[in-house]
Amino acid sequence: MKTPLPKVDEIERKWYVVDATGQVLGRLASQIAMMLRGKHKPIFTPHLDTGDFIVVVNADKVLLTGRKLDQKIYYKHSGYMGGLKSKTARQMLDQRPEDVIMLAVKRMLPKNRLGRAQLKKLKVYRGSDHPHKAQSPEPLKLTY
């Protein structure tokens, strides 16, 4: 007996909005990654993008547990000698809180072209306003 595969045209994608106020970063990111991959749907297939669109608002109000605000360090390298830059999580949340959530979710997705395509369905905004009201996203209750 063959396993039925969903056709790319038949995959329905919904829009959800998530409020990050008071949410713990890792738990929030794991739930978002699961929704982006489509693991909550009965038609989930590991090699197809069956996930939904996620809009995250209030990214600047996300929480980190313990002493991660001062001990967690984000690195980036320019590619040149001596080009290693580092920032603490506190600096990242002050300057670019969107990147904190994007990086946490990105590292939970597959490391291939499918993961990059799934990450494009994630929209993160610092405040409570977002330009995706026309898609009428449903509020998403996260359970953990």
Residue 4's pLDDT is 83
Domains of the chain, residue spans: 14-64+96-139
User: Domain 14-64+96-139 carries which CATH code?
Assistant: 3.90.1180.10
pLDDT tens sequence across 9-63: 989 999 999 999 999 999 999 999 999 999 999 999 999 999 999 999 999 999 9
- Kindly tell me if the per-residue pLDDT of 8 is higher than 90: no
Q: 128: pLDDT confidence band, cut at 50, 70 and 90?
A: very high
Percent of the chain with pLDDT over 70: 100
Residue-wise pLDDT for 65-116, tens only, equals: 999 999 999 999 999 999 999 999 999 999 999 999 999 999 999 999 999 9
Nearest CA to 15 out of 144, 117, 140, 107 is that of 140
Please tell me the pTM assigned to this model. Answer: 0.93
Instruction: Give mean pLDDT, residues 120-124.
Output: 98
Cα–Cα dist 43/56, whole Å: 24
Q: What are the percentages of helix, strand and coil residues in the chain, rounded to 5?
A: 35, 20, 45
User: How many residues can be counted in the chain?
Assistant: 144
Q: What confidence score (pLDDT) does residue 64 get?
A: 97
CB 25 within 8 A of CB 64: yes
